[in-house]
Amino acid sequence: MRVQIAAVGKAPKGWIAEGVAEYVERLKTLLSIEWNYFKTDEQLAVFVKKQKEVVLLDPNGKTVTSEAFSQLFHQKMVQGGATVTFVIGGAEGLPESLKKERTLLSLSELTFTHQMVPLILVEQIYRATEIEKGSGYHK
Amino acid sequence: MRVQIAAVGKAPKGWIAEGVAEYVERLKTLLSIEWNYFKTDEQLAVFVKKQKEVVLLDPNGKTVTSEAFSQLFHQKMVQGGATVTFVIGGAEGLPESLKKERTLLSLSELTFTHQMVPLILVEQIYRATEIEKGSGYHK
């Protein structure tokens, strides 16, 4: 399985990068994570439009439980031929043109700092795979 | 202002501790954060019952926006004489006896790993103070 994460901005540094690396390492036997950082919304949009199964993280998206996230994640994996793309908006949110007819999720009603979103996302992806396995991690 | 964080378990280590330290540093001119880690639910309960204004983080709590969190946080600060206590439950959640007649909040419908909760909490506290100041951080 392959997860693509696409965002406008720069790759996380310091402790956030360390946290992300911890989950990438835990996931490596199951799936690979590719990071795509773009300078502008336009570049992001060009990339996203080429992808088959896309989940947009957006404050206006619906909030879900980790169980529902796991279900959605695995369903998209099947539909996407083992590839799913997650898109993280910039400080101004995602362009409206991208949002049409795509799945919008919100990680929380709370606003999280933009830098921390990749960290929360990879932990949820790891949790999703553990829920699917039926392990005790998510309990 | 003083924030007390009480939890069962051990203090975060590694990159989570670094992240927490970053927000504690940013907050230090405004408020101090005290950490209280307990071995058992019983010890936690004894501590919590002595505190005036308490917010319990619990999966069954209500979810709020960062703006509503900020409002609640500052209201509790006033009511608590400049001290608020946040309580983080263990893997099994918080004891029922503590939940009665206290404010229950959930950070998200998603379940986060127990270790990451203090990090998400201190970022929201920082965000709450920035919202109160009217700075651009939370935009």
The pLDDT tens digits for B79-131 are 999 999 999 987 778 889 899 989 999 999 999 988 899 999 999 999 999 99
Specify the pLDDT at position A137: 74
Specify the pLDDT at position A61: 93
- A108 at interface of B, judged by CB pairs closer than 8 A: yes
| DSSP per residue, chain A | -EEEEEEES----HHHHHHHHHHHHHHTTT-EEEEEEESSHHHHHHHHHT-SSEEEEEEEEEE--HHHHHHHHHHHHHHTTSEEEEEE-BTTB--HHHHTTSEEEES-SS---GGGHHHHHHHHHHHHHHHHHT-STT-
The Cα–Cα gap between A94 and B130 comes to 23
Please tell me which residue of chain A has the smallest CA distance to B93: A139
From chain B, pick out residues whose CB is under 8 angstroms from the CB of A66: 110-111
* pLDDT band per the 50, 70, 90 thresholds, residue A89: confident
Asked if the Cβ–Cβ distance from A63 to B16 is below 8 Å, we say: no
Q: Tell whether A139 is covered by a domain.
A: no
Closest by Cβ to B123, choosing from A63, A112, A127 = A112
- B64 at interface of A, judged by CB pairs closer than 8 A: yes
- B13 at interface of A, judged by CB pairs closer than 8 A: no
Q: Give the containing element (helix H, strand E) for B117.
A: helix B117-133
Mode of pairing for the β-strands spanning A103-106 and B54-63? unpaired
Q: Tell whether A14 is covered by a domain.
A: yes
The Cα–Cα gap between A53 and A73 comes to 10
Is A95 buried (19+), middle (13-18) or exposed (0-12) by CB count in 10 A?
Answer: middle
CB proximity list for A139: less than 8 A, separation 6 or greater: B91
* pLDDT band per the 50, 70, 90 thresholds, residue B136: confident
Q: Tell whether B64 is covered by a domain.
A: yes
Span A36-54, mean pLDDT?
Answer: 95
Residues of the domain holding B119: 2-133
Could you identify the residue written with the tokens 């929360």?
A: A120
The Cα–Cα gap between A93 and A100 comes to 14
- A100 at interface of B, judged by CB pairs closer than 8 A: no
Specify the pLDDT at position B138: 65
Asked if the Cβ–Cβ distance from B16 to A19 is below 8 Å, we say: yes
> Strand, coil or helix: what is B14?
helix
| DSSP per residue, B22-80 | HHHHHHTTT-EEEEEEESSHHHHHHHHHT-SSEEEEEEEEEE--HHHHHHHHHHHHHHT
Please tell me which residue of chain A has the smallest CA distance to B21: A15
Specify the pLDDT at position B116: 93
Closest by Cβ to B127, choosing from A63, A65, A111 = A111
Specify the pLDDT at position A66: 96
> What's the complex ipTM?
0.90
Q: Tell whether B67 is covered by a domain.
A: yes
Q: Tell whether B139 is covered by a domain.
A: no
Residue B34 in tokens:
């005290």
Which one has a higher pLDDT value, B91 or A73? A73
Span A92-104, mean pLDDT?
Answer: 89
Specify the pLDDT at position B92: 77
Q: Tell whether A7 is covered by a domain.
A: yes
User: Tell me: the pLDDT tens digits for B38-80?
Assistant: 999 999 999 999 999 999 999 889 999 999 999 999 999 999 9
Structural domains of chain B, count: 1
CATH of the domain at B26: 3.40.1280.10
Asked if the Cβ–Cβ distance from B64 to A110 is below 8 Å, we say: yes
> Strand, coil or helix: what is B20?
helix
- B91 at interface of A, judged by CB pairs closer than 8 A: yes
